[in-house]
A and B are shown apart, each in its own frame.
Chain A
């Protein structure tokens, strides 16, 4: 142990360092707000479990669970009868709805990606500025300078707006504007555009953010070299930034695809096309069929999840 005067000095020094240490009031205030809001959320919710008595609720719950069991099994008690019943549901509407769901999700995410790719350099902090990557931009070009100062934040804000609106809302609104059906008489079919557009717009914002982060965090050496040898922003973006980030782009792309399938399922509840439509139709009358369709959608997503995980391992 050190002797006393040295120790006292040390204690003082440590206390001084402690006083100086970096503190973030922003984080503290945020933390407090979050806790306060959580407490308020629980306290102000009124009767948490609703107005029914515990006994009624338990009864409702058991009844409901009973209804979920496939109807042939309910009657005969034999679970093997579930298979032909499930097969019929699949063959009639289920399988097609499933394909449509996946189709809508796929079309939407591809659209989103295709439109994000050219917009991405406009949202990048390094590329969308008067002198990309900090390079001297040269003299003059006042309008050009203003453009480059504004386009970055504007594009990023555009992405924020796109992802701020829930896709269900966009679809809901678009349906009433674009209309759910096309064609007449025999050739009448359901228009998939409202759903595809809704998903595409929403995911435009999300991919813009996710892919944008890949671009921001990427190593600046290669693109700077591109500029140094006379390249333009688009040239450098296409030939150096994109190839470098390609794998991570794919990872995010498939992750969003998976979410799109889930969302596409539910968008059908607006009344058309996907598994959601079947779910909404059978709700209230055929709980067992509804449950089957729910599990069907779930199974597809689980498979997609496994595929995604496998892909991520290969792309790392």
Chain B
């Protein structure tokens, strides 16, 4: 039905200067691959033992455990599906707790790290003060962001000992950095016009922020917070690898004993949770922005 247009003869001509970016990226990849010693041989299991393991592992995907594989499991232990659910609950607990700290913290930091609410005419002293606060906040947020949750967990657990709060803070600190940065960017970019219009009729700076900027940025703030919550779930699962009791811990323990069927059970539980949260988050996005919903082109 349709004639095949295909790529024009000169892709370079079409891409223009961008072709150099693409070429640069290709070259970078080759350099990295060469210096890291990435060879096709590195992709496949190296010996019979590993091949067997791989085979077992992927075969187990089709038959996740309905029962514990360890023959020494006590008889009154929870059935595995219940343990999986409990693991999910622990994971959710840390994620919700962390977000409930991170969001308020990020709102404050995001506000201080934004410049859209600064009064248009301000004296030099106020200007310097605002700028100083702005730069400090951005720096602190960047610093918090640059340290991975697992490393925060290491530090906090070593410093304060094992406690639920330490686990939650390990997630909350870097996340408030990311959230705060996105918040400040949303505030600065999305709301300038409304802010100017309100200041033009006499609103003061804080007033403009509270009634003009913040409500305007709110849908995007909420959408992004949901996305971050999904990330928090994943990170919370991974915290299991440093000893905090979430579903990641169960996966690691089962894996050590080569109980691959159990591993897949827990994996499926985790996947199901994340897919559900992903759908929920997509729903939130649709309901928050009904006007910008994708419309059928007809």
Contact = CB atoms under 8 A, between A and B. Distances in A.
A232 B184 CA distance: 42
B42 A110 contact: no
B2 interface: yes
A107 interface: yes
A87 interface: no
B147 to A, nearest CB: 6
Contacts of B44: 178
Interface in B121-172: 142-143, 145-148, 150-151, 154-155, 158-166, 168
B109 interface: no
A73 interface: no
A160 B278 contact: yes
Contact of A177 (B18, B32, B54, B284): B54
A192 B36 CA distance: 7
Interface in A174-216: 176-179, 182, 189, 191-193, 196-197, 216
Interface stretch (B67-75, B190-198, B232-240): B232-240
Contacts of B251: 169
B100 interface: yes
A134 B295 CA distance: 11
Interface in B39-53: 39, 41-47, 50, 53
A30 B284 contact: yes
Contacts of A239: 5, 7-8, 14
B43 A178 contact: yes
B35 A182 contact: no
A49 B7 CA distance: 62
A82 interface: no
A315 to B, nearest CB: 10
Nearest to B41: A182
Given A235-B7, A243-B14, A179 B158 contact: no
Contacts of A114: 29
Which residue, of B15, B148, B241, has the highest number of chain A Cβ atoms within 10 A?
B148
Interface in A248-277: 250, 262-263, 265-266, 269
Contact of B50 (A126, A172, A177, A263): A177
Interface stretch (B90-98, B112-120, B203-211): B90-98
A249 B137 CA distance: 28
Contacts of A111: 29
Contact of B154 (A232, A250, A283): A283
A41 B100 contact: yes
A205 to B, nearest CB: 10
Nearest to B147: A298
Contacts of A227: 2
Contact of B143 (A125, A235, A302): A302
A49 B146 CA distance: 25
17 contacts: A24-B287, A34-B96, A48-B164, A49-B163, A60-B161, A106-B29, A113-B25, A126-B297, A166-B238, A169-B237, A169-B238, A193-B43, A232-B2, A232-B5, A294-B155, A297-B147, A301-B145
Interface of A: 22, 24, 26-27, 30, 34, 37-38, 40-42, 44-52, 57, 60-61, 64-65, 99-100, 103-104, 106-107, 110-111, 113-114, 125-126, 133-134, 137-138, 160-161, 164-166, 168-169, 172-173, 176-179, 182, 189, 191-193, 196-197, 216, 220, 224, 226-227, 229-232, 234-236, 238-239, 243, 246, 250, 262-263, 265-266, 269, 279, 283, 287, 294, 297-299, 301-302, 305
